[in-house]
Structure 1
């Protein structure tokens, strides 16, 4: 176990230049940065939710630049068309043939900004890309670049003119991360750095694609003990059958988390352990990642809404009451 721990420490140390570079631009958002890295290390898409002005777009753009990955941003609006996202076929009258014009989805990191402002037809255009890492244009299926990540943002306010994401698409996001206001000291640092007219920061890549791939393999190799794996499984299953675990949540959860949530929590816990410098998963890793993995996959009942009980409250009850191995 010692050699493995040393190796995990070495891999974690390799991320220090990345943290230093990104935090030179993004202030007071270490938790958000960790979650974005976990998504990148586990081949998972991430949904960011927070009020305007919390640097969601800046965070995604900065991470992509630090990792030397191609980056495209799509501003979702009510008049957006699927072709504006995935691309379309263009007819050439000279040759009488169609050629494919690729859309902005053909990038390593795709920022779907305010994804809930586009109708379902456009949102569903991303489903194939997120699930299969390919898109179909006409009668051609085109592979997307690897790695491929969709990092989407949405605002919890100003719901007029928005279109709720369908459950099938929400479930494709590995994590849903809630972003809160920075602390006073962090906001003062933001003011000092970004308060001028020229607040641009030049950021050079600090982590190459081969290094990222090595870290992804290391995260996949993190050890999960059978007892921890059973605990992880119970956390997810308790959202479906709370009575079996002695939880008084009857009537509060209309739809529990799917087996895809179990897989996502397993991968996320392993990446979280790696970022902590460990080559094994502890129950604390499962507890840390469970809210981000489960909050968007639970459908609460009308009774829960009437009592102002959100998915986070229900996940916390599950984590507080289930015995930890």
Structure 2
């Protein structure tokens, strides 16, 4: 199956001379949740705006469901829904008026049952007659999602969708994202809540200084770059790491009561077995063992710091 979004050698240089994107190549598969991560100013929003037809590229091209986003703008844009970072709407519009107007912009015929379902899924139905100015920031964010979904897009961009949203609303939004993916909608999101990407995404892309430095299946990324630690709580405190453990990446806690062994998850079992055997041979007794694995956030930070 061809990718639903194809990005080829995409560049963007602004009039000031600032190069926001540098030769981006990326394919996004139909029906997946793709998380685009990067620090502020990395180029995430510029990339999204080019795909959505808001900003013109300097070089390269983008296809959305086979349609060039510049030459075949109308067909490409009709496939895409966008929830931007900024909350922008007519303060005097009601929720219902704003959502129906957004659907009409794409030439879609009126479909009250569909829009009613969208508003109910987002817990907005009881607010349908409320003017936008009366809504909280979190509810306005929901309305932006409803407007993006109003024309039944196949591709949905969520640019920091849960910024300023409380925990309950965030949970509802992610339930909605899962249901959209189940219906075949492709989701591309940026977020500063990296635990959301860790929980939701099928693949992760990391962009830094306008360059796409990594694209990886989430599970493969966690296995490849994630580190695991085994913490051994000792029966008796040590003053230093015994010389017999020199072959292992072992550190001693400040109080001398724990040995901390860092290892590659792919070869962890052999390393742990070897370490435990060595402890036994050295007569070092322990009372408890704990393991933990690095999070996606820790992997992300290490990638960005390592990038030139």
TM-score under structure 2 length normalisation: 0.27
TM-score, structure 1 as length reference = 0.26
Q: Which has the larger share of helix?
A: 1
Which is higher, the Rg of structure 1 or of structure 2? 2
Q: RCO higher in 1 or 2 (8 Å CA, sep ≥ 6)? A: 1
